[in-house]
Amino acid sequence: MNTAERLATLNRIRKFSRLMDTAFRIPGTPFRVGWDPIIGLIPGLGDAVDTGISAYIILMAARFGLPRSVLGWMIFNVGLEAILGSVPLIGDLFDAFYKSNIRNLTLLELHLQTAEPELSEQDTLNLASVTAPDKVTADSVAL
């Protein structure tokens, strides 16, 4: 993949991740939710659809040649959300708060900051501004 294709893929991952986890702000609060907990309300099928979309995001991210440790964390995030998200009602609340796709986007962007600094220069969304959330550090996604 050339740089333009890599940026297009990165932006597609960003779009899907934000649609699934932070697309809508709850009025009167700073809290955001996406389609993930909404789709998850559909009994049985909803969680399968959510997991499928999250798996697609991971497949797109894998095109960047991520190390096994980063892919492992991404799969863990989606797996945890799939398992706990399947519990009626409590799982939907977990989906709304855990936001596995945004966590995975952060892991990808942290990896790209160190592995592909030339991509940061081309990225209009400022890849260099990404910071690690709680319990995810640059060391945990080191090459």
- Give the span between the Cα atoms of 62 and 37, in whole angstroms: 25
For range 100-111, the mean pLDDT: 95
Stretch 17-35: mean pLDDT: 94
What's the Cα-to-Cα distance from 66 to each of 16, 29, 56, 108, 116, rounded to whole Å? Answer: 19, 36, 15, 8, 11
pLDDT given at position 43: 82
Domains of the chain: which residue ranges? 3-25+33-141
pLDDT score, position 1: 76
Average pLDDT value over all residues in the chain? 85
Instruction: List, for residues 35-68, the tens digit of each pLDDT value.
Output: 998 998 888 799 899 999 999 999 999 999 999 9
Task: Round to whole Å and give the CA distance between 8 and 18.
Answer: 15
The burial of 135, by beta-carbon neighbours within 10 Å (0-12 exposed, 13-18 middle, 19 or more buried), is given as: exposed
User: Does residue 23 contact residue 35 with C-beta atoms inside 8 Å?
Assistant: yes
Task: Measure the CA–CA gap between 111 and 92, rounded to whole angstroms.
Answer: 29
- Within 10 Å of residue 125's Cβ, how many Cβ atoms? 11
4-13, 31-40, 89-98, 130-139: least confidently modelled range: 130-139
pTM score > 0.85 for this model?
no
